[in-house]
Structure 1
Amino acid sequence: MQINLMPDLSLLAVMVIFILEYFIVRRFFLKPINDVLESREAEARSAQETYEQSLSRFNEATNRIEQRLHEAKRDPAQLRDKFRSEAGVHRQSLVERTTAEARKLIMEAEQRLSRDVKEARDKIVRDAESLARLAAERILGRPL
């Protein structure tokens, strides 16, 4: 038995059928699948980019809002501290003024009291002298 190594026409027919089959499979099966895969990949890429852009905008907006919130919290705290210090100064001046007025009133009352005491002592001395003279006149029975 001898093997014929020379190609015959059937080999050529198989090769032509294989090449035709390759073009048909590539054209009607592989190309649509590759197109779908590429479009899905492009959609995924664009969705990822959109997500990253949205996340970036969200983070920027969040940072701006947090900054404004921090400023909004800081401003009332500064205002509150300012009002507290102003109230402390006002309270201190009010206490000093009230203390000064109280001291003035006390000094005036002490002066008035001293004057009244002096007048009362002078009156007691005069009254005592007149009562003593009156008592002496009654005891002696004659004017002095």
Structure 2
Amino acid sequence: MRISEILRRKGAEVVTVAPQAPVRELLAVLAEQNVGAVVVSSDGLSLDGIVSERDVVRRLHAVGAELLDRPVSAIMTAVVHTCSPDDRVESLRPTMTEHRIRHLPVLREGRMVGIVSIGDVVKSAISELQTEREHLEQYLRG
């Protein structure tokens, strides 16, 4: 299965926040959108970074409440692993596991066209296993 199939099923919406937005605003976006990570983008199409709930918690522990007024760019991950709509889902599993990545922005020609989560990857693997099981059962039945 390709990443484009996942995006076709779940949609291509990418929740973004501007790099200069305060962390307080980021928290509101995470809560309102019910997501675990947000792409940091100055224009909603390009990729400046990514920031997750985990990033906030770790920095909040280190810095304290003053973090809430700092810009998102101060806590974002600037070097972001990405994928393409043409990538196969299986190729993402090792990358996501080894680097402990839960969200991968999907880029086509440098522009964001979606985002996939580890949940999307696992869901696709389960779906493929179920389909394979059904085919095997049909084969055994003759």
TM-score range, shorter-chain basis?
A: under 0.3
Could you tell me the TM-score, scaled by structure 2's length? 0.21
- Structure with greater contact order relative to length (CA < 8 Å, sep ≥ 6): 2
Normalising by structure 1, we get a TM-score of 0.21
Larger Rg: 1
